[in-house]
Amino acid sequence: MWTADNWKGYQLLDASLGERLERWGKYILIRPDPQIIWDTPRTLKEWDQKNGHYHRSKKGGGEWEFFHLPKQWSIQYKELTFHLKPFHFKHTGLFPEQAANWDWLTEKIQNAGRKVKVLNLFAYTGGATLAAAAAGASVTHVDASKGMVTWAKENAIASGLEKAPIRWLVDDCIKFVEREIRRGNHYDAVIMDPPSYGRGPKGEIWKLEDSVYSLIQRCALLLNEQPLFFLVSSYTTGLAPSVLTYMISTALKDYAGNTDSQELGLPVTSTGLCIPCGSSGRWESSF
In a domain, 15, yes or no: yes
In this predicted structure, which of 59-63, 73-77, 91-95, 114-118 has the lowest mean pLDDT?
59-63
pLDDT at 47: 98
In a domain, 234, yes or no: yes
Q: What is the pLDDT of residues 90-121, one digit of tens each?
A: 999 999 999 999 999 999 999 999 999 999 99
Q: How far apart are CA 99 and CA 2, in angstroms?
A: 10
The answer to whether residues 205 and 68 belong to one domain is no
In a domain, 66, yes or no: yes
Read off the pLDDT band of 88 (50, 70, 90).
Answer: confident
pTM for the model stands at 0.94
- Are 112 and 87 spatial neighbours (Cβ–Cβ below 8 Å)? no
H/E/C letters for each residue in the chain? Answer: CEECCCCCCEEEEEEECCEEEEEECCEEEEEECCCCCCCCCCCCHHHHCCCEEEEECCCCCEEEEECCCCCCEEEEECCEEEEECCCCCCCCCCCHHHHHHHHHHHHHHHCCCCCCEEEEECCCCCHHHHHHHHCCCEEEEEECCHHHHHHHHHHHHHCCCCCCCEEEEECCHHHHHHHHHHHCCCECEEEECCCCEEECCCCCEEEHHHHHHHHHHHHHCCECCCCCEEEEEECCCCCCHHHHHHHHHHHCCCCCEEEEEEEEEEEECCCCCEEEEEEEEEEEECC
- Are 81 and 74 spatial neighbours (Cβ–Cβ below 8 Å)? yes
How would you label 227-250 residue by residue, b for 16+ Cβ within 10 Å and e otherwise? bbbbbbbbbbeebebebbbebbbe
pLDDT at 77 over 90: yes
Question: Domain boundary residue among 40, 73, 106?
Answer: 73
pLDDT higher at 104 or 196: 104
The answer to whether residues 43 and 167 belong to one domain is no
Read off the pLDDT band of 208 (50, 70, 90).
Answer: low
pLDDT higher at 204 or 101: 101
pLDDT at 196 over 90: no
Domain count along the chain:
2
Read off the pLDDT band of 211 (50, 70, 90).
Answer: confident
Return the half-sphere exposure (C-beta side, CA atoms, 13 A cut-off) of residue 183. Answer: 10
The answer to whether residues 150 and 12 belong to one domain is no
Q: How far apart are CA 33 and CA 274, in angstroms?
A: 13
The answer to whether residues 31 and 160 belong to one domain is no
The answer to whether residues 257 and 133 belong to one domain is yes
Return the half-sphere exposure (C-beta side, CA atoms, 13 A cut-off) of residue 228. Answer: 24
The answer to whether residues 124 and 242 belong to one domain is yes
10 Å Cβ neighbour count for 110? 13
Q: What is the pLDDT of residues 212-251, one digit of tens each?
A: 899 999 999 999 999 999 999 998 877 889 999 999 999 9
Q: How far apart are CA 233 and CA 241, in angstroms?
A: 10
List phi, psi (to 5°) of 250.
-70, -45
CATH of the domain at 67: 2.60.40.1180
In a domain, 197, yes or no: yes
The answer to whether residues 132 and 259 belong to one domain is yes
The answer to whether residues 162 and 46 belong to one domain is no
In a domain, 159, yes or no: yes
The answer to whether residues 50 and 132 belong to one domain is no
The answer to whether residues 68 and 100 belong to one domain is no
In a domain, 84, yes or no: no
pLDDT at 141: 98
The answer to whether residues 122 and 36 belong to one domain is no
In a domain, 85, yes or no: no
The answer to whether residues 67 and 148 belong to one domain is no
CATH of the domain at 162: 3.40.50.150
Q: State the residue range of the domain holding 250.
A: 96-285
In a domain, 115, yes or no: yes
